[in-house]
Structures are given as C-alpha cells and as structure tokens.
Structure 1
Amino acid sequence: MIKRCALIVVCLISSLSASAELSRYTAGRLQQANQLAQDEKFKQAITVLRETNTSFDYDKAFVARVMAVFYWQDGQTKHAIEQMEYAVTSGLLKDEQAWVSERMLADLYLTERQFKQALKHYYQLVEMVPKDHQKNDIWLRIAQSHYQLEQWHDVVESAKRYLNEDVQDRLQPLSLMLGAQLALKLPHDAIITLGQLIEIEPKKLQWWRQLSTLQVQVGKEKQALGTLSLAKLNGLALSQNDRRILAQLYAKQGIPERAAIEISQLKDAQADIQLLVEQATYWQLAKQWDTAISIWKKAVQTAPKYNWNLAQLLIQQGYYKESVSVLDKVEGRQVAVALAKTRVFYKLKQLDKALSQAKRAEQLEPSSQAKSWIKFLSQQGAASNLPQTEA
C-alpha cells in the first residue's frame, strides 16, 4: 500500500498544472505545500492547505484530496480518511481523479481495519476501472476485507475473481480461499486449493500436513499416505507427530513393516515406552515375530504391564521355557495367566504342573476352558500310569 500511496501523491501533484478548474490562488498554495512535503515537512504542508481560503467547491475538494495524502504520509490516518472522504463524496472529482482518490480512501479504511467501509468503496471501484489501471488487486483487497469479517462465501468468490485474471501473486488469494473453505467445512475444495499452494510453495510443510489431514478426513487414506511420503521424500523435516501419522497410514494400508521402520527412526525410539509399544505392535502385524519379541523385551524393562504381551508372543512362537518366567511377572490377569501356564506346561510335558494350573484357573473363575483342560490332563495322566504290555 505504501508504494501505491506514493504513486497517488505523484498523480495528485502532477495533475495540478493540468487542472484548468483550479483557481490560480489555490494552485499556488498547493505548489507551496507540495514543496514542503517533498522536504518531508508534512505538518507545515498540512498547515498551508488547512489555511487555504477559497470559495470554490472544486478547489476545496482538490485541496482535501491532497491534504489526505499529506496526513497519511505524516501517519495521521484518521485525518487522512476524513479529508479523502470529503473529496470523494463531493462528486466534484472526475474520471481518473475520482477513481484514484476513492481507491486510496478504500485502502485507508482497510489499513484502519474498517472493513465494511473499505468494501463499500472497493465494490464501487471494480464497476468502472480507468484505462491503464487494473482491478485484479482490488478483488484481492475485497477478499482480504471479507476474510477479516469472516464472510467466508464472499472470500471464496472474490478470491476466484482475482485468480481468474492473469495474475502473478497467487499465494495470498489461495491462502485466503483455503482459510474460507476450511471455515465452511468444504474439505474437497480445500484439497484442490492445497494442491495449488503446494505447487507454489513445495517446501512449506504446513500445506502438505493440512492436505494429508483433509485426505484422511474424506476417507482418502491412501492419498494421505502418498502426500506425507512425498513430503518426506522431498526433504521436508516431518515432525515426530507427522512420522507417527505416516506410520499409522502405512499400517492401515497393509504395510506394517514400513510403519515399524518409520517409528524406529524417531528420536528416543529405543527408550520411549509408547514408541516401543508401537514398534512391537507393527512388527507383530508384519509377522516379524522375533523382532517384535526383542522390542517387547525392551518395553517391559520400563513398563512391566507389557509382560503379558511378551508372554503371549513367546508362547505363540514356541518359546515355552522362556515364557514361564515372563508369566510369573505378569500382574493381575490371574485366570488368564493360569490358563496360559496350563498350555505351556503341557507343551513342556510337565502334566502335573499343567493340571495344577488348570485347577487354579477353575478355582479362581470357573469356566468351560478350565474344565476341558482338567478333564483332558486328568485323562492324559491316567493313561501315562497304565502298565505297559509286552509286544
């Protein structure tokens, strides 16, 4: 906006000589004020114009117009608005003079966060644009104003009007549009916008992260996996949380080994209990049983409650002797532990211990499973005591 207002100053002052409607007296006062302003003596320049006495309405409007610029350059935006409002509403400024003045007034309102007033003038400006002036950036200002007012539908429409033209700056309007689409809960539209933003700023992780989140939200988890994977491949520094989400997406797509590897590469992956549990779980899903066992062993050193997970996997893989000592460390789960030991001791051909554990399970909580074990083991024990006949 600073560059634009500086350009307006030039336009205003250069038009002094071209304006045949200005009285000689007023033109002289304006030239005097302009000379002071060029030396950055804005307060003196304003005083000269404020003390200019003229009975001509056009002179008053033109003086107000120039004074508004000087007020703005002096940092007195509210006074600048008052003077430019007077100049514009007078209706005496014509053609390009009127358009440029109203443009500055709209920009001043925007600077002062008076968005409704700014919009009133911006919408008037786009109706008639003088030659050699563009209305593209006006639509951008309109989008910005609607955004501040949280008028999301209007943000989208005005941003589209801006983007429909051949413009260089696409980042800002697309960012405004994205914010509006998210507020309106339009995830499919936001996904398209994020794709355009990534083309412009491929190194901005925020866009990739938001895109993957929305893809998950609309049920496109495979695309979300591709998004985060590509972000990582492009060298973006994914956060710990990003990597965990990436691992979850790998697992959901049936690639648990990649999920486990992703978690194993995180900071404190070999010490943080939650990360250890995630790794062990993913290795199990990948049927990498021994690797999962090794990770569960690390986990139980910090959190003994995971001894049950370790014991179950040891039993599954036939490490029966090792599983006994682990089962002894399991807290709670008395019935489940007794039944697990029943199975383990049976596999180790220690039938008396197996039967003892089955009876313990039945005593703690009667169940058909415990009864079945007791019956089966009792029969096995009886059979083993039968006298052997000679062949």
Structure 2
Amino acid sequence: MIKKLTLLVALSFPLGFMPEQAVSAELSQYTAGRVQRAHNLQQDEKLADAIAMLEGLNLSRAYDKAYVQRMLGVFYWQQNIKTKAIANLTDAVNSGLLQDEQAWLTQRMLADILLTSEEFKQALPHYYALSNNVPENQNADELWLRIAQSHYQISEWQQSLSAIKTYAELAGKLDVQPLTIKLGAQLQLKQWKAALPTLESLIVLEPNKLVWWQQTAGIQLRLGQSNSALDTLALARRQGVDLSQQDLKTLAQLYAQRGIPERAAIVYSQLDGADSDVDLLVLQAQYWQIAKEWDKSITVWRQAAALNNKHRWPLAQLLLQQGHYQQAIAELDKVKDKAYEADVALAKVRAYYKLDNLEKAVIFAKQADNIESTTASKSWIKYLSQKREMAS
C-alpha cells in the first residue's frame, strides 16, 4: 500500500561549498590538496579516478579521515554503490568530528540513503537526531514524514501515527502519501472508526481511486453501518468510479436489505454475465418478484428456465399467480423434478379450474391425491366433483 519515498533533496558533492573553503583551517595541507584534486576529477566526471585516489590515501589525522570518508560516501552514492556510500558516511557521521555547516546535510544524506536502501531501523536514529536541530533553510516536516514511513515499514504502527501527527502539525495539511501511511497504520491497529475520516480525506484527494471507496464501505459494514456502506458504494457509482463485480454484488445486497428490491434487480442485471449466468438471473427474477414487477420477473424467470429446467417451477407458479393459465400449464408440463410432482398436479388443477375445464381439473386432482394424499387434494376432488355434478 505504501509507496517508497524518493529522496526529496539533491544529494551531490560538494554539498554547497568548495573543499578549499572552511576546511583549510582543519585539514592538513596534504589532505586538502588531495581533496581538491578529487573534487576536480569529480567535476570532470572522472568519479572512478577520484574514488581510487581517495581510497589510496593513508591518513593519520582523525579529522582528515572523517572528511575524506564523507567525500567518498558522496562519490559512492553518485556511482550507485550504496553499501560503500553508507559505510563511509556512517563512519564520517559517527566520528562526531564534522561540525561544519555541512554536517547536518551529511547526516541527512546518510539517513535518506538508508531509507531508500530499506534499512529503516538504521535510518530512524539519524532522522530523530536531525529533527532536533533543523536549519532554517530545511523542512522539518520532510523528516517526520520519513520517520513515519520508516516506522511503518518495520510494523511500528503507533510510532508511525505519532510521527504523522507531528508531520501534520508542521506541514499544516496531509496529502495522499502521509494519509496513506496513516490509514495503513490505523487498519493494522484495527482503529476502524478513526480510519473513516482518513479515508474521507483520501477520497477528496483521489475521488476516482476505487480502493478508498472499497475500504470505506468495508469498514462501515464491519461496524454494522450497512446504510452508510450502501450510500458510499452508490455515491462512488454515481461519480463514475468503476466498481468491481463484487462491489456491485454487495451494493445489490445492500439495496435489498434496505427494502429497495427493484434497485437490487437493476444492479444484478448490469453485472457481467447477467444474461447468461443462471444464478444471476434467478437473483434478478426474485428481486423483481419481491418488487411486484411481475412482467419483468416472468421475463427473467423464462431466461433462467431456459438455462436450467429446475426454474420452470417458480416460473409456472408466477404465471399462475398472474392469471396466465395456458402459459402456466405449458411450463408445468416441462417440470421434471419428482419432488414437485404432487405440487405440479395441484397447480394444473387450479389452472384448468380457472379455464373452466372441470374434467381435466378433476383428473389432475385425483392424480395429485394418488401421488400424495393431502387435505388440499381431497378438498379439490370433493369440490370439483360437486361442481361437475351441478353443471351436469
């Protein structure tokens, strides 16, 4: 979730000054001359030669050694040899001898290289030290963002949140990167309620990013806020966010839970495979039926029955309910499930009775009674027999 931070400061040598400035008073004449030569080689883009010359120096003075190590650290970094850059800069910083105006930047450079090398634990002490004495021309908030990221990467969630809080106080606002770190830490700590305002801020900054909407709805569901989850997903859709198929299924379910079955049916009808997936067709048919959209439900039940014959039975029942008796009989004739045999016979009794075909109604009433004698079958037989006698 958290992207790695890139270095936000230009790391190059000399760090804002010429070697012969401010060093002549402390570097030995011999070392100062070699440092100047190395600097000139670097300016001529001969870094390898500059490194070889500095590496070959046999220095006895501690300050000279620390100064050259700093210079080597910068050169190795420029050649993308991070391990040697880190080793030399670490020795230079730890010596405590470099107290010139570039000392802070040297430690900052070391901290940043450690961070980009994913040496987060090693980077943290340097960032904290730097944060205690920030020059006026440097941004303290950048340090705290790196501190937050470093803690996050080593799963120190609470420390990461504390660092983000300090960052926000210094920066005055939170953009996407610190908000993402904050959210990640809150989720790891299961601070669900606290995560919701963070997600709201992220949605404001990146309204088209699906994951923020998904996580918001997910947390709302976790907290039992199903109405809020519905509103979140519905708003995302209205704003043109491309919801996943699972998100849309969740949205449909939430519409159904809120008592808006027609919206549930519409959402299911817009899913991939809505016209060919029998399970999706059944859901559409059921929700149209709950919404009392009988014709729409019948249409979709027909599609489902064409794909799987077991859906003939609910289709026939709905046709019968709506008075489409001939169509109901045609569908009942296609129901093959033995479990519904008696029910199908009774359904035909009702259909033929409504069509004033008492002879067939009696036949199917007796058939139903033979399959499974019930109060309903016996009542139909008695009633229809009486009707037939009266008619004759």
Q: Residues 245-284 of structure 1: matches in 2 within 5 Å?
A: 245-284=250-289
Q: Which amino acid is the alignment partner of residue 348 of structure 2?
A: K
Give the superposition deviation at 1:350. Answer: 4.0
Give the superposition deviation at 1:95. Answer: 6.4
Q: Distance in 1 between matches of 2:236 and 2:124?
A: 39
Give the superposition deviation at 1:16. Answer: 4.6
Task: Kindly indicate whether residue 192 of structure 2 is the aligned counterpart of residue 224 of structure 1.
Answer: no
Alpha carbons of structure 1 residues 24 and 13: separation in structure 2 relative to 1, 3 Å: farther
Q: Say what the alpha-carbon RMSD is for the aligned residues.
A: 2.6
Alpha carbons of structure 1 residues 148 and 377: separation in structure 2 relative to 1, 3 Å: same
Match of residue 328, structure 1, among 328, 333, 344: 333
Match of residue 67, structure 1, among 69, 72, 76: 72
Contact 1:68 1:79 in 2 (8 A): yes
Q: Which amino acid is the alignment partner of residue 21 of structure 2?
A: S
1:339 maps to which residue?
A: 346
Match of residue 128, structure 1, among 118, 133, 157: 133
Give the superposition deviation at 1:197. Answer: 0.6
Contact 2:369 2:377 in 1 (8 A): no
Alpha carbons of structure 1 residues 43 and 202: separation in structure 2 relative to 1, 3 Å: same
2:297 maps to which residue?
A: 292
Alpha carbons of structure 1 residues 10 and 274: separation in structure 2 relative to 1, 3 Å: farther
Task: Kindly indicate whether residue 213 of structure 2 is the aligned counterpart of residue 208 of structure 1.
Answer: yes
1:301 maps to which residue?
A: 306
1:138 maps to which residue?
A: 143
Give the superposition deviation at 1:144. Answer: 1.8
2:152 maps to which residue?
A: 147
Task: Kindly indicate whether residue 382 of structure 2 is the aligned counterpart of residue 382 of structure 1.
Answer: no
- % identical equivalent positions: 46
Moved more, 316-325 or 19-28: 19-28
Match of residue 21, structure 1, among 17, 23, 26: 26
Q: Distance in 2 between matches of 1:263 and 1:25?
A: 81
Q: Distance in 2 between matches of 1:387 and 1:98?
A: 113
Give the superposition deviation at 1:303. Answer: 1.8
Q: Which amino acid is the alignment partner of residue 140 of structure 1?
A: L
Q: Distance in 2 between matches of 1:374 and 1:184?
A: 66
Alpha carbons of structure 1 residues 98 and 6: separation in structure 2 relative to 1, 3 Å: closer
Contact 2:312 2:332 in 1 (8 A): yes
Give the superposition deviation at 1:171. Answer: 0.8
Q: Distance in 2 between matches of 1:302 and 1:376?
A: 34
1:373 maps to which residue?
A: 377
Q: Which amino acid is the alignment partner of residue 193 of structure 1?
A: T
Contact 1:143 1:158 in 2 (8 A): yes
Contact 2:349 2:362 in 1 (8 A): yes
Q: Distance in 1 between matches of 2:168 and 2:47?
A: 38
Alpha carbons of structure 1 residues 158 and 38: separation in structure 2 relative to 1, 3 Å: same
SS of 1:4 mapped into structure 2: coil
Contact 2:362 2:384 in 1 (8 A): no
Gaps of 5+ in 1: none
SS of 1:164 mapped into structure 2: helix
Q: Distance in 2 between matches of 1:105 and 1:80?
A: 8
Q: Residues 46-61 of structure 1: matches in 2 within 5 Å?
A: 46-61=51-66
Task: Kindly indicate whether residue 138 of structure 2 is the aligned counterpart of residue 115 of structure 1.
Answer: no
Q: Distance in 2 between matches of 1:138 and 1:362?
A: 85
Q: Distance in 2 between matches of 1:380 and 1:295?
A: 34
Q: Distance in 1 between matches of 2:380 and 2:123?
A: 88
Moved more, 59-68 or 244-253: 244-253
Task: Kindly indicate whether residue 167 of structure 2 is the aligned counterpart of residue 162 of structure 1.
Answer: yes
* Higher RCO (CA 8 Å, separation ≥ 6 residues): 2
Number of aligned pairs? 384
SS of 2:138 mapped into structure 1: coil
SS of 1:113 mapped into structure 2: coil
| TM-score, normalised by the number of residues in structure 2 | 0.88
Give the superposition deviation at 1:154. Answer: 2.5
Contact 2:345 2:368 in 1 (8 A): yes
Q: Distance in 1 between matches of 2:186 and 2:37?
A: 52
